[in-house]
Amino acid sequence: MKRDFDALDRRELFRVLGAGLAARQASAQHHQPGSASPLDTASYQPRFFSPRQYQTVDRLCELIIPADDMGPGAHQAGVPFYIDTVLHYTAADQPSWLQGLADVERAAAARFGRVFLECTATEQDQLIAIMATNEGKPETDLEKFFVRLKALTIEAYCFSEPARRDYFGYRGDTILAEFPGCTHPEHQR
Amino acid sequence: MPASRKTTFDVCIIGSGPGGGIAAYVLAKSGLKVALVEAGPRLRAGVDYNAHGSVYANLEKRLQSGHRQPVSSVWNDYAERNHFTPVGDRPGHGLLKALGGRSLCWAGHSLRFGPLDFRHWPISYDEVAPYYSRAEQLMAVYGNKDGLSNMPDGEFQKPVAMRCGEQLLKRGVERLKARGLRMEFVGQRKAMPTESWPGQRAVCHYCGHCMQGCEVDAKYTSANTPIPLALRTGNLALFTESTMTRILMDANGHRVSGIEYTNGRGAVDKIACKVLVLACNSIETPRHLLINRTREFPNGIANTSGHVGRNLTSHFGLTVAGFFPELRARDASNDDGTDYYHGLLTALSWDNPNPHFEGTYQVQCGSGLHPRRLAIDSVPGYGSGFKRRLRELNVCHASMNMQGALLSSAKKYVDLDPDKKDRFGLPFPRVHLHYEANDIAMAEDMIQTCEQIIRAAGGEVISTPGAVSAAKLQIDYNHWVGTVRMGRDPKTSVLNPDCQSHDIPNLFVGDASVFAAYAEKNPTLTNIALSWRMSEHLIEKFRRGEFS
């Protein structure tokens, strides 16, 4: 068979693409997670939420994904930073979040006569349980807020480097010379 | 080459995606003077799209520049929206206006159609095979030599290994084969170099961002291989950010004389050409033919047959996922690879047609831990138990994504919206999709087969659509074909087997709308092979003086 992709083309292709190639490979190296300076989410000052709202969101997220002996929780992962930053730039979603937090406070006041952050751990557990009722088919505003809160919490958690590294055990997004794939003989029979 | 108002190009190509890009390369290399017209801009790999790096560190910059998604993706950032009218069962219309078109965001899956798939075509597999080989070499396609009858092996670079979950599905398939079922489970074949090669695009580094846009240009795109090669010949003039607004006919109305286009600054100009190649895609190419109505062609140019826009088909599907407890103990390290699907279930009812439906399907299979793109995120609950399940499902799952050939029928077609127009005043295309009993039956069979494989492999089915209804089926809006089909009979086809209009001898089509029939396999490799073949036939016709 005639090999249409002939010698001239190969040299041409190298000249056209080769120059940019080294630079881009270097840029890819530079973008490895390990070489990026870690983002300081702990000292972040919220821009959308008030300090109290931010603490409330922080606590709610931690109830959804708590720190435990398996790995960091939402707080350590930087989830509140992520949520505040997204909402800061997403005006369309802001009202539903403010409304949702107001609904949480209303529920806390009605049940326990306190703001959410001053509720005991048991009381907060009871509140999140109420919020999580009917997750598959939310009806009340509080239930709908839980679905929204949880979705963004999962997104933020899974994008977080501490969570990816220290909980999921993810070692990807890097440069490999070979892709090893499955190395377990027992999976291959 | 400098483009002047007085230049008459030998060939003007509209659209720089997989089909248009390869035509530009083959034609320019032969010495013909070529104009390539692309509605979008040139995007720079690694600059205009780059999914590498920390999402948190890049978040502010992404949101600030108005992007809706936290991770860079050619598709999410640049694809057209609100550009067509859907009718029926939620059809989509994938359109990316950028140099390279949707080759920028394709997965790279490169599967040859087999001899059986060409049964209803006016050309045979053997006529296309040499072009498949050339395409695979230029594109750098990796794969295993599987020796399958109806998905022939190609010119492959070394294959990429399957992950644990995909190996387990293969185990299930082997067990069912031992019981007499006919199917095969093989590694995927994709267009990215896996070893050092003469072509010298970057060798893949297995970061898994293929569909978001390969930031190092390892994955084949029209923009990183054929178009640069064509430019080096000095025979290609590139018109980016230029939208074709009219097809111009000569004085007697039976040949194309050029096009009118609007450039990025809104100025209207013309390009004169001896031959026009449309490579816009299976929705836009028929749309332009239908828009351009003339005295000689009152139903749209090249549409004497009335078949422009008809015979629309695509792939559609559903997903079934399995959970494999034995993967709990595995070391979840780096499953990125060449994006999600490393395995392929194929050879289902190739030569033993299923009694319940017409056509074939394949199942793309993926697995592994990709926490930034969770395969499974619909885990109920909250707290430590929820957290544990979230990790476990992503480490221990394998998922099976059906890709079935939609039955081509009178209920699926493209026409023009009588009411809505784009900013150039051109009617929107309307895409009509209505799932039929055949499509439902195929999906039911797929679910049954996938569940059977997962159980045979020792897993449990954790996500399945259950009873199939049209509402659950997902169309592949990037895989439309058939709307400007080739055939021998000018009454039932738009193009001849050289992809040349039956009506207008200097009008050709280089995109996947030319497909005479569909298979379950991904369309791009076949699109590229056919466009290459069309280009060579076109060169031969120029040599014979047919266009002078």
Mean pLDDT by 10 residues, chain B (548 residues): 72 98 98 98 95 91 91 95 97 98 98 98 98 98 98 98 97 98 97 91 94 96 98 98 98 97 96 98 98 98 98 97 92 86 96 94 95 77 96 92 96 98 97 98 97 98 93 97 98 98 98 98 98 98 95
For residue B369, list chain A residues with Cβ-Cβ distance below 8 A: 168-170, 172
* Per-residue model confidence (pLDDT) at position B372: 73
A66 and B377 in contact by Cβ < 8 A? no
Q: Is B377 on the interface with A (CB under 8 A)?
A: yes
pLDDT of A29 > 70? The answer is: no
Q: Are strands B34-37 and B236-239 parallel, antiparallel or unpaired?
A: parallel
Arithmetic mean of pLDDT, A78-94: 97
Token readout for B200 is: 């010298």
Please tell me which of the candidates A173, A177, A179 has its beta carbon nearest to residue B161.
A179
* Residue B269 CB coordination number (10 Å): 13
Average pLDDT on A174-180 reads: 92
Chain-wide mean pLDDT for chain A? Answer: 85
DSSP state of B475: E
What residue of A is the nearest CA neighbor of B137? A5
Confidence band of A7 (pLDDT split at 50, 70, 90): very low
- The whole-angstrom distance between A107's CA and the closest CA on chain B is 19
Q: What is the DSSP letter of B43?
A: P
- In angstroms, the CA B484 to CA B493 distance is 7
Other beta carbons within 10 angstroms of residue B139's beta carbon come to 30
Mutate to test the interface with B, among A158, A160, A175, A186 (most CBs of B within 10 A): A158
pLDDT band at A1 (very low <50, low <70, confident <90, very high): very low
Put simply, the chain A residues between 52 and 71 with a CB less than 8 A from any chain B CB are: 63-66, 68, 70
Q: Is the pTM higher than 0.90?
A: yes
Q: How many alpha carbons lie under 13 Å from residue A104 in its C-beta half-sphere?
A: 30
Query: Could you tell me which of B527, B522, B517, B507 has the C-alpha nearest to residue B259?
Result: B507
Q: How far apart are CA B202 and CA B205, in angstroms?
A: 8
Q: CB of A18 within 8 Å of any CB in chain B?
A: yes
Q: How many Å apart are CA B22 and CA B409, to the nearest integer?
A: 30
Instruction: From chain A, pick out residues whose CB is under 8 angstroms from the CB of B70.
Output: 86, 155, 159
ipTM of the shown complex? 0.89
Choose, out of B342, B387, B388, the residue to mutate when testing the contact with A (most A CBs < 10 Å).
B387
Q: Is B328 on the interface with A (CB under 8 A)?
A: no
Query: Which SS3 state, helix, strand or coil, does residue B37 take?
Result: strand
Beta-carbon separation of A13 and B164 below 8 A: no
A188 touches chain B (CB under 8 A): yes
Residue in chain A nearest B131 by alpha carbon: A4
In chain B, positions 144-183, which contact chain A (CB-CB < 8 Å)? 160-164, 166-168, 170-171
Alpha helices in A47-113 (DSSP H): 51-64, 74-77, 79-89, 94-112
Q: How many CB pairs under 8 A join A and B?
A: 219
B120 Cα to chain A: minimum distance (Å) = 26
Q: Closest approach of chain B CAs to the CA of A114, in angstroms?
A: 23
Nearest to A174 among B161, B166, B334 (CB): B334
| Tokens matching residue B12 | 């003007």
- State residue A13's pLDDT score: 43
pLDDT at B281: 98
Q: Which of B332, B380, B391 sits opposite A136 (nearest CB)?
A: B380
Q: Which residue of B has its CA nearest to A92?
A: B68
**pLDDT of res. A38:** 55
CB contact burial A58-91 (16+ within 10 A = b; e otherwise): bbbbbbbbbbeeebbbbbbbbbbbbbbbbbbbee
A 69-128 residues inside an 8 A Cβ radius of B = 70, 73, 78, 81-82, 85-86, 88-90, 128
Q: Please state, in angstroms and rounded to a whole number, the distance separating the CA atoms of residues B109 and B190.
A: 4
Q: Tokens 């544990």, residue?
A: B388
Task: Write out chain B residues lying below 8 Å of A34, CB-based.
Answer: none
Task: For residues B90 and B78, give the distance between their C-alpha atoms in angstroms, rounded to a whole number.
Answer: 21
| B55 contact A CB<8A | yes
Q: Report the candidate in B183, B213, B121, B146 with the shortest Cα–Cα distance to residue B529.
A: B121
Tokens representing residue B116 in the block: 């059986």
Say whether residue B206 is in contact with chain A using an 8 A CB cutoff: yes
Angle of helix A79-89 versus helix A141-159 axis, rounded to 10: 110
Cα B158–Cα B511–Cα B266 angle in degrees, nearest 5: 120
Residue A23 has pLDDT above 70, yes or no: no
- pLDDT tens-digit series, residues B410-424: 999 999 999 999 999
Is-contact B261 B269, C-beta < 8 A? yes
CA pair distance B239, A98, nearest whole angstrom? 49
Across the interface, whether the CB atoms of B387 and A88 are under 8 A apart is answered no
Crossing angle of the two packed helices A51-64 and B383-396, in degrees rounded to 10: 60
The pLDDT tens digits of the residues spanning B82-135 come to 999 999 999 999 999 999 999 999 999 999 999 999 999 999 999 999 999 999
Please state, rounded to an integer, the average pLDDT across all residues of chain B.
Answer: 96
Residue B444 in contact with residue B406, Cβ under 8 Å?
A: no
Categorize the per-residue pLDDT at A174 as very low, low, confident or very high, splitting at 50, 70 and 90. Answer: confident
Looking at chain B, the whole-number percentage of residues with pLDDT higher than 70 is 99
Distance from the B63 Cα atom to the nearest Cα atom in chain A, whole angstroms: 6
